[in-house]
Amino acid sequence: MSRPLENKLALVTGSSRGIGAAIAIRLAADGAYVIVNYAASPARAEKVVKEIRNAGGNAEAVGADLSTVQGINKLIASIDQVFGASFGGRLDILVNNAGTVVFGPFMEGAEDSYDKHFNLNVRPLIALSKDAARRMLPQKWGRIINIGSIHGESAPIPGVTMYVATKFAVHGFTRGLSRELGATGVTVNAVQPGFIDTELSPANGQAEDMKKLTSVGRFGRVEEIASAVAFLAHPESAFINGENLTVDGGWSA
């Protein structure tokens, strides 16, 4: 089996479940040593690590609540403290996946709606990208992959205005940083999923309406986002930079 990411260290934020877990499992299957970040559930993160190890891969769970500056700093410190002996402070692949959405009309939203969305969907993504780029630049190779959303390009449904604002920020940041790092061997891209059946966007009462808007007629699977991330992480994807890759079953066609 081909292992294009052999000897690479990959960090996937929020990878104890959902899309992040699928990305961690896929990058490990492609040969990367994966840091499985989680905020609240060590048991679920350990389950992901176990699945990776059982399949012959390498992974370690690191707890850090990325909605706080302390959590971001803790995760950054672990790259040296936990993995420094094996990887010398290197980081090859960063996948900024952790994210949240609070559904409901903007005008009825809680006062802390801004903090809840921006402190998780945007602040750690920017801080971790800066730290990762510092580690990647000397080796002239790196992949920063941000998980955006189709809500980062338009606002297809009401009731998620703050989420839309954060995902537009993710796409804008992706383009801006890709422009700055373009000639260094470090690429910066985003994957923008459509509706994927996870705890964040469960196939609930709206499911049938959502499916009708997707030309392939179903919700996406987490593995289908993971393969798009693996594609962008692949050494052969060096000429793809600043791209927001839509994986939405034709929703936004």
Q: Which of 33, 38, 114, 163 is catalytic?
A: 163
The DSSP secondary structure of the chain, one letter per residue, reads ---TTTT-EEEETT-SSHHHHHHHHHHHHTT-EEEEEESS-HHHHHHHHHHHHHTT-EEEEEE--TTSHHHHHHHHHHHHHTTHHHHTT---EEEE-------S-GGG--TTHHHHHHHHHTHHHHHHHHHHHHHHGGGT-EEEEEE--GGGT---SSS-HHHHHHHHHHHHHHHHHHHHHGGGTEEEEEEEE--B-SSSS-S-TTHHHHHHHSTTSS-B-HHHHHHHHHHHHSGGGTT--S-EEEESTTTT-
Give the one residue of 8, 17, 90, 116 binding ligand NAD; rule: CB under 6 A.
17
Give the one residue of 9, 10, 11, 16 binding ligand NAD; rule: CB under 6 A.
16
57-96: which residues touch ligand NAD (CB under 6 A)?
A: 65-67
96-125: which residues touch ligand NAD (CB under 6 A)?
A: 97-100, 120
Question: Nearest approach, Cβ of 210 to ligand NAD (angstroms)?
Answer: 9
In the complex with ligand NAD, the residue whose CB is nearer, 11 or 182, is: 11
130-159: which residues touch ligand NAD (CB under 6 A)?
A: 147, 149
Measured distance CA(140)–CA(157) in Å, rounded: 41
In the complex with ligand NAD, the residue whose CB is nearer, 56 or 103, is: 103
Question: Nearest approach, Cβ of 149 to ligand NAD (angstroms)?
Answer: 4
Tokens standing for residue 63: 């707890």
Question: Nearest approach, Cβ of 3 to ligand NAD (angstroms)?
Answer: 25
206-245: which residues touch ligand NAD (CB under 6 A)?
A: none
The answer to whether residue 163 is catalytic is: yes
The site map against ligand NAD for 172-201 (x = CB under 6 A) is: ---------------------x-xx-xxxx
Residue type, 88: G
Question: Nearest approach, Cβ of 125 to ligand NAD (angstroms)?
Answer: 9
Catalytic residue numbers, as ranges: 163
Residues at the site binding ligand NAD, with contacts judged by CB under 6 A:
13-20, 38-39, 65-67, 97-100, 120, 147, 149, 193, 195-196, 198-201
